[in-house]
C-alpha cells in the first residue's frame, strides 16, 4: 500500500473510534509516532499508548521504558498473554460509562494483530457491519460497552531501510547493506544487556565493540568465505533476523 493509502486507513480508524490504542514495540520506545498523536488530538480522540512484546524485556528495563515514555502507558505481551485485564480496566475508565469504539494503530510488526486477537479471545463475537457503522469494518465486542475494530491501522515508517529492518518490515536479504543495520542492532543490544548478547552468540566474556562482535559471530556460526575469512554480510543478516524474530531479550 502507498503511504497515502495507509493514511486513508488511519483516518478511517480515527474517524470511527473514540479511543485509539497506539501499539509500540517495547524494544524501541523511541519510535513513537508524532503523526498519530497529532491526528488523534486534532480529531478530539483519546489516545492510549501500549507497549508490546514485553516478554522480550527484563522487568527492570520495562519499568525504565515506562518511565521514559512520559505519557501514561500500559505494557502487555500477546505471547505470554499478560496485560489484558489492566487494559480492559483502563478502557472502561476512559469510556466513562458510555459506549465506545476502540481502534488499534502502530508501525508494522509491532504486534497490532496479536493484540487484537489477544483482546478478542477465542470466543469473541465478531459484530457484523450495520447501519451507523463504518462500512467494510468488523467489530469485536469486548464488553457491553466496548467494541474493538477488527482491523488495525498501519502507520507508515518515515525513514529508510534501517528502520524497516528494525521493524521486521523488510527481509534481511532486501535491506541493501546489512552491516550498518546489524551494527545498530548490536549497539542497542550491547547498551541494554551485553552479557545476554554475548551468551546468546556464545562469544565468551571479552568481545570488544560491534565490529569485533559481528566478526566473532561470523566465525562462531560458521559464516565463512573461502579461505576461512568471516563473512560479515551473512553474519549481519543473521543478527538482523534474530532481532526481527525477537530471539534475544534485552
Ligand atoms: N515475543 C513476542 N512476539 C510477539 C508478540 N506479539 C507479536 N509478536 C510477534 O511479532 C510479529 C508481528 O506481530 P503482528 O501481530 O503480526 O504485528 P502487526 O504487523 O503489528 O499486526 C509476529 O512475528 C509475532 O509473532 C509478543 O507479545 N511477544
Ligand atoms: Mg497485522
Residues 80-93: pLDDT tens digits?
Answer: 999 999 999 999 99
And the C-alpha cell for 50? 501500549
Pocket residue to mutate for ligand 1, from 26, 56, 75, 78, most atoms within 8 A of Cβ? 78
How many alpha carbons lie under 13 Å from residue 248 in its C-beta half-sphere?
24
And the C-alpha cell for 158? 518515515
Quote the pLDDT of residue 133: 53
SS (H, E, C) 93-126: HHHCCCCEEEEEEECCCCCHHHHHHHHHCCCCCE
Q: Say which residue the cell 478530539 belongs to.
A: 44
Residue 123's CB is within 10 A of a number of other CB atoms, namely 5
**For the CA of 78, the nearest ligand:** 1
Quote the pLDDT of residue 186: 94
d(CA 111, ligand 1 centre) in Å = 4
Ligand 1 cavity residues, CB under 6 Å: 52-53, 55-56, 77-79, 106, 108-114, 152, 246
Which residues partner with 20 through β-bridges? Answer: 47, 103
Provide the 8-state DSSP code for 150.
S
State which residues have CB under 5 angstroms from ligand 2, the bound ion.
Answer: 112-113
Where does the pLDDT of residue 5 fall: very low under 50, low under 70, confident under 90, or very high at 90 and above? confident
Quote the pLDDT of residue 248: 87
Q: Say which residue the cell 451507523 belongs to.
A: 132
Residue nearest (by alpha carbon) to ligand 1 atom 26: 53
How does pLDDT run across 203-245, given as a tens digit for each residue? 987 878 999 999 999 999 999 999 989 999 999 999 999 999 9
**For the CA of 117, the nearest ligand:** 1
Residue nearest (by alpha carbon) to ligand 1 atom 7: 111
Quote the pLDDT of residue 192: 84
Q: Say which residue the cell 546489512 belongs to.
A: 178
Residue nearest (by alpha carbon) to ligand 1 atom 28: 53
Q: Cβ distance 112 to 23 under 8 Å? A: yes
Residue nearest (by alpha carbon) to ligand 1 atom 12: 109
How does pLDDT run across 83-132, given as a tens digit for each residue? 999 999 999 999 999 999 999 999 989 999 999 999 998 766 566 555 45
Residue nearest (by alpha carbon) to ligand 1 atom 14: 111
Is 84 strand, coil or helix?
Answer: helix
d(CA 219, ligand 2 centre) in Å = 36
Quote the pLDDT of residue 200: 94
Mean pLDDT for 24-38 is 89
Quote the pLDDT of residue 28: 86
> Is the confidence at residue 20, as pLDDT, over 90?
yes
Where does the pLDDT of residue 135 fall: very low under 50, low under 70, confident under 90, or very high at 90 and above? low
Mean pLDDT for 14-29 is 94
Angstrom distance (rounded) from CA 22 to CA 88: 15
Residue nearest (by alpha carbon) to ligand 1 atom 8: 111
Quote the pLDDT of residue 2: 66
Quote the pLDDT of residue 218: 96
> Is the confidence at residue 37, as pLDDT, over 70?
yes
Q: Cβ distance 139 to 149 under 8 Å? A: yes
Angstrom distance (rounded) from CA 52 to CA 212: 31
Provide the 8-state DSSP code for 81.
T
Quote the pLDDT of residue 132: 53
d(CA 96, ligand 1 centre) in Å = 30
Quote the pLDDT of residue 48: 96
Classify the C-alpha dihedral 14-67-250-117 as positive or negative: negative
How does pLDDT run across 138-185, given as a tens digit for each residue? 899 999 999 999 989 999 887 777 777 888 778 888 888 999 999 999
Atom nearest to 52 CA in ligand 1: 27
Is 127 strand, coil or helix?
Answer: strand
Amino acid at each position: 500500500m502507498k503511504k497515502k493509502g495507509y493514511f486513508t486507513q488511519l483516518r478511517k480508524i480515527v474517524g470511527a473510534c473514540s479511543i485509539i490504542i497506539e501499539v509500540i514495540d517495547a524494544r524501541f520506545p523511541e519510535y513513537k509516532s508524532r503523526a498519530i498523536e497529532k491526528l488523534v488530538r486534532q480529531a478530539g480522540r483519546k489516545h492510549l499508548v501500549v507497549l508490546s512484546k514485553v516478554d522480550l524485556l527484563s522487568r527492570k528495563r520495562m519499568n525504565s521504558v515506562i518511565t521514559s515514555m512520559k505519557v501514561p502507558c500500559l505494557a502487555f505481551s500477546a505471547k505470554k498473554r499478560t496485560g489484558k485485564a489492566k487494559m480492559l480496566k483502563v478502557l472502561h475508565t476512559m469510556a466513562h460509562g458510555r459506549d465506545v469504539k476502540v481502534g488499534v494503530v502502530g508501525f508494522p510488526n509491532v504486534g497490532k494483530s496479536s493484540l487484537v486477537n489477544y483482546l478478542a479471545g477465542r470466543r469473541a463475537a465478531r459484530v457484523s457491519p450495520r447501519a451507523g457503522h463504518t462500512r467494510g469494518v468488523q467489530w469485536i465486542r469486548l464488553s457491553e460497552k466496548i467494541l474493538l475494530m477488527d482491523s488495525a491501522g498501519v502507520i507508515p515508517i518515515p525513514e529508510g531501510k534501517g528502520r524497516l529492518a528494525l521493524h521486521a518490515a523488510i527481509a534481511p536479504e532486501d535491506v541493501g547493506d546489512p552491516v550498518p543495520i546489524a551494527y545498530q542492532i548490536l549497539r542497542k543490544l550491547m547498551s541494554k544487556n551485553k552479557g545476554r548478547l554475548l551468551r546468546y552468540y556464545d562469544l565468551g566474556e571479552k568481545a570488544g565493540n560491534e565490529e569485533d562482535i559481528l566478526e566473532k559471530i561470523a566465525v562462531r556460526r560458521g559464516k565463512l568465505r573461502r579461505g576461512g575469512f568471516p563473512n560479515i554480510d551473512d553474519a549481519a543478516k543473521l543478527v538482523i533476523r534474530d532481532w526481527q524474530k525477537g530471539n534475544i531479550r534485552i
